[in-house]
Structure 1
Amino acid sequence: MALAAGDQIPDVTLMTPSAEGPKPVQSASVLGTGTVVLFGVPGAFTPACSDTHLPGYVLRRDELKAKGVDTVACTSVNDAFVLEAWAESRGAGDAVLMLADGNGDFAKAAGLDMDGSKFGLGTRSQRYAAIITDGVVRWIGVEPVPPTVEISGVESVLAQL
Structure 2
Amino acid sequence: MRILLAAAVACVMTASPALACPEAQDLYRKGWYPEYVQKMAELADGGNLECSFTLGTVLRDGVLATQDFDGAMKRLRFSADRGHAFSQFEIGTMYDNGYGVAQDQAEAARWYQKAADQNFGMAQYNLGVLYQDGLGVPKDAAKAEQLFALSRENVTNTGQ
What range describes the TM-score normalised by the shorter chain of this pair? under 0.3
Higher relative contact order (CA 8 A, sep 6+): 1
TM-score normalised per structure 2: 0.25
Larger proportion of helix: 2
Larger proportion of strand: 1
User: Larger radius of gyration, structure 1 or 2?
Assistant: 2
TM-score normalised per structure 1: 0.25
